[in-house]
Every structure is written in C-alpha cells, then in structure tokens.
Amino acid sequence: MTIPVAMILAAALNACGVGWDPVQVLPVEVRREVAGAKVITPCRVSALPEGIRDHLAETIGEKKLVMADPDKAWNSSCLQHEGVPSRQLVAAASSGSRWVVHYREGGEAVSEWAIVLELEARGVRTLWRGSCTERRRAAGSRRDALGKATRDCTAVLP
C-alpha cells in the first residue's frame, strides 16, 4: 500500500499549514496561560473573533486589520504593492477566551510575531507579545543537510 505524499504532509502539518504547535513555541510561563489551546479551523483571519481582529489592528497601528490568510499572497518586502497585505497570518489557536496569534510582517526583513490576547466582556487585553525566530542547528549528516530547526518566541518590551 502506498500513501500519497500529500496525505503524509497533511498529517505533519496542523490546520494552519505549519509543522509546529503555536503554543509550544511560547515561553513556559506563557504556555501555562493558554494550556489546552487548539489550532483554529479553518485557519483564516476571518475565523478570529471581531474583537481579536480589531485589537490586532490597533496593536500594529492600523484602523482595520489587513492581513493575508496563510495560503494567500502577501508582501514580504519593503517595496509595497497596492492591494497586497504586508502581514500574513501564520498560525492561531484558542483556549476559552484566550487566543494565540502568530503572524509575519514584511519590510526590510521579515519579522515573525506572536501575541496572546484575552477576549473579555469589556474588550480585549494583551497578555503577552513577542518575536519569534527559527534557528537551525548544524547538520549531523549529509541526509540532514539543513540541520534541525527549533522555533521559539521571546517577549518584546512594551
């Protein structure tokens, strides 16, 4: 029996199309705040509650959130193209009223951000915000030419 490559890839990726858990890459103390979070399905900006979208827009200095879905075109460079968002949703998860959102932002260099938000009756508050990086360790063999990747997120100062 042969298994199609697409099925193998789908099993390795979550609903947002990334092969890592959006909560597990956060610092330990932040992970406790969103224990049990599940990746949102479908993984779309429109699947985020309106209050979360509005708060994200405010956090990044926009009136309305303009962000591409994970599988859509986005502008990763400093040269802006009309009608193409300069941010892209990478992954999102929720646990009750708490939301974890990972996104990329284009510019002179691509930045990756994570934010943990709490949706309350009186609004949304930011519990944590950080930048995320992927680091590659040296390859151990020719088969593993690119080395193993680890992803982690660290807090940014307000």
pLDDT, position 148 = 57
φ, ψ dihedrals at 149, nearest 5° = -100, 140
pLDDT, position 9 = 38
Alpha-carbon span 67 to 84, nearest angstrom: 9
Q: Which amino acid is at 14?
A: N
Half-sphere exposure of 103 (CA within 13 A, CB side): 30
Q: For tokens 């309106």, name the residue.
A: 50
Report the mean per-residue pLDDT for the chain.
84
Q: 95-141, pLDDT tens digit by residue?
A: 999 999 999 998 888 899 999 999 999 999 999 999 999 876 665 55
Q: How many CB atoms lie within 10 A of CB 126?
A: 14
**pLDDT grade for 51, boundaries at 50, 70 and 90:** very high
Instruction: Give the ranges where the chain is alpha helix by DSSP (H).
Output: 5-12, 28-33, 50-59
Q: 52-61, pLDDT tens digit by residue?
A: 999 999 999 9
pLDDT, position 10 = 40
**Would the pLDDT of 147 be above 90?**
no
